[in-house]
Structure 1
Amino acid sequence: MIIQNDLESLHKSACRLYTAVIDMVLSMPHPHRHPKTGVWWYRERVSADIKRPAKGQTVTVVIAGRIAQHKIGAELKVSLGTKEAA
């Protein structure tokens, strides 16, 4: 009986921990549409540990065979060059 009670207590604790972890939602980078032009953009936040040394550096991004160069700031934002969703 003692083991059974311990297992039930452990299960309840694990369920509370699981619920607490699941409630925290992290936003993944994804394309979004520019509100005025309708062109799709990809935007990703630059992590804090590389933000300071990378700020102002130019990065080359290849999207659908097209080469684009962008400066890194607090985020990397690149036009996908299309108004089509798919």
Structure 2
Amino acid sequence: MEEVGELSRIMNHSFGSKYKKPEEQEQKLSEELADVLFVIICIANEQNIDLEVAFEDVMEKYHTRDSNRWAPKRISEEEVEA
């Protein structure tokens, strides 16, 4: 699970408030994402989890939950005049 920690570190260095220490080796986000993906696939295989089915299920959950999340909001005349 150290791969997730390495990905976290890169995300913090790139987008968070933690800066890379001068002695830390430069890491590529793409490589760390691939490492995490590999570990996920290994865990799924070990546990006999069909990732395709699991992914379809989670996408359906997000589609249902967030179906209106990005839809434009209607503004009433009162709000426009305010």
In the superposition, the TM-score normalised over structure 2's length comes to 0.29
Task: From the two aligned structures, give the one with the greater helix fraction.
Answer: 2
Mark the structure with the bigger radius of gyration: 1
Task: From the two aligned structures, give the one with the greater strand fraction.
Answer: 1
